[in-house]
Amino acid sequence: MSTAVQYTTAAMMAKTLRKVAADAQEGFNFTSPEVDVLKKVPEADVDYSLRETLFPADLNETGGVASLVDFGKLANPSVTGLEEGIGYLVHFNKRFNRSTLTRLVAKGKSNQIEDQFKYSMAKSVKALNRRVSIGFWGSSSGILALTDTDLTTSLSQTLTMRAAHGVTGLDDAGYLADLFVPGDAAGNDGDGVAVLEAGVVKGVGKITAKSRSGGTITIAFDVAPTASTTNGLQIVLCNAIGSTLTQTDYNKALVGWADALTASALHSITHPEWAPAVYDTSNVRFSPLLYQRGRDEMALRGDGTISHVFWDAAVKRDAWDNRASLQRFNDTATFTLDADIKAKNATNVVSRFVPPGWVTAFDVSKAVKRVDIVPALDNSSSGGSEDGGKEYIDEAGKVYELNRIMALQWRNRRATCGWTGKTRS
């Protein structure tokens, strides 16, 4: 008989032990600050039409004031007219489903790490708000990026992107990649995209991977795409059921900051005064002088006061570093590492959705108006009724949906400022 001691290990007794799961913990910041800012934007008092909604814009100064001699002729009567803008609604839709089996066997926290319905609802709200936040910075064209990568007929292809939101020079690789959500190896649960050539669909598929360092996305196409060697192919979302241009986001997105700063005919208005108070694209450090110029021009040209400043975090850090190097301290042996830089008397917003190198500002009461047919849910919302949803006809389950129907109308471009291409640290 062996004299060696035998040890009963946990591995040997594995089947006598219970598996324990801890509570789920968010490992990423899913919040969308832009959604909270939009609540401060005044609602437009208008009955919206699905055909076309027009709004007046007073951009023309009136002259014709005469100086008279004694008993002289009176001034010729004259008054300038209004310009007219066009606005369109955008319908955002997010759905999730749940099987009858999982609904009936659910016993709260006793057999679930998280309640499946509440978890699915909360994730869907965050996804919907994320889409609104991206649209807040984007273009009504719905174009999220361009690519010069040649499109072949292969079912899986990796495209290198540039020009986020269609804006020339906005080429940060990480930002471009973060505009898209990849799914699993088959593209499930991620974004669907369409690749267009001048608005014509060349291919539709699901994103299976992305690279923040390379600014690339890998697409598993539903069917072999049409080959193209054209530079500037357009990448848009295609998350609706179908694969035609109608099912894509092309020309069905919010009129966002990219349009507000760069569009020559925003809301179909062309006018010398229909432009930002300041649009500075110089590659320099953001400074109080630049901000003061924007503040002055907004007051002088747009009769506005800066209420909100939106920062790319890296520009904000560089601006702090620039200012800190100029300050004098009572004790030169100490230096405050957690100091901050901000615009006084304004709400300062730092968001991961702000394009790299950008700082923007507006007067929330004058620059833009919001139409909300179906308003937003809070970033933290997990509400909604499990009893709602629609039963599938021949399948044991329900489908639930969230909608937001809204529009942004820029009413006073002179009450906006934009500084792009600024130094980042």
Residue 190 makes CB contacts below 8 A (sequence gap 6+) with 180, 181, 182, 183, 184, 206, 207, 208
Q: Which whole-number Å values give the CA distances from 155 to 158, 184, 195, 203, 249, in the listed order?
A: 10, 16, 13, 10, 22
pLDDT of residue 335: 47
pLDDT of residue 115: 79
Residue 148 makes CB contacts below 8 A (sequence gap 6+) with 160, 162, 231, 232, 233
Q: Label each residue of the chain as H, E or C.
A: CCCCCCCCCCCCCHHHCCCCCCCCCCCCCCCCHHHHHHCCCCECCCCCCCCCEEEEECCCCCCCCCCCCCCCCCCCCCCCCCEEEEECCEEEEEEEEEEHHHHHHCCHHHCCCCCHHHHHHHHHHHHHHHHHHHHHHCCCCCCCEEECCCECCCCEEEEEEECHHHCCCCCCHHHHHHCCCCCCCCCCCCCEEEEEECCEEEEEEEEEEEECCCCEEEEEECCCCCCECCCCEEEEECCCCCCCHHHCCCCCCCCCHHHHHHCCCHHHCCCCCCCCCEEECCCCCCCHHHHHHHHHHHHHHHCCCCCEEEECHHHHHHHHHHHHCCCCCCCCCCCCCCCCCCCCCCEEEECCCCCCCCEEEECCCCCEEEEEEECCCCCCCCCCCCCCCEECCCCCEEEEEEEEEEEEEECCHHHEEEECCCCCC
End-to-end Cα separation, the chain, in angstroms: 71
pLDDT of residue 380: 53
Cα angle, residue 206 at apex, residues 162 and 224 outer, rounded to 5°: 90
Q: Please, which residues bridge with residue 399 across strands? A: 97, 390
Residue type, 126: K
- 105-141: b or e for each residue (b if 16 or more CB lie within 10 Å)? eeeeeeebeebbbeebbbebbbbbbbbbbbbbbbbbb
Dihedral in degrees, nearest 10, Cα atoms 11, 13, 18, 20? -20
pLDDT of residue 341: 72
Phi, psi of 418, deg, nearest 5: -140, 135
Give the whole-angstrom CA distance, residue 199 versus residue 245.
8
Residue 319 makes CB contacts below 8 A (sequence gap 6+) with 285, 286, 287, 341
> pLDDT tens digits, the chain, 425 residues: what are they?
556 666 555 565 566 555 555 555 555 456 789 999 999 999 998 888 887 889 999 999 999 999 999 999 999 999 999 999 999 999 999 999 988 888 888 766 666 777 788 888 888 999 999 999 999 999 999 999 999 999 999 999 999 999 999 999 999 999 999 999 999 876 678 899 999 999 999 999 999 999 999 999 999 999 999 999 999 999 999 999 999 999 999 999 999 999 999 999 999 999 999 999 999 999 999 999 999 999 999 999 999 999 999 999 999 999 988 876 655 555 555 445 555 677 778 999 999 999 999 999 999 999 999 999 876 666 555 556 777 889 999 999 999 999 999 999 999 999 999 999 999 99
Cα angle, residue 362 at apex, residues 81 and 287 outer, rounded to 5°: 130
pLDDT of residue 5: 66
Record the pTM.
Answer: 0.88
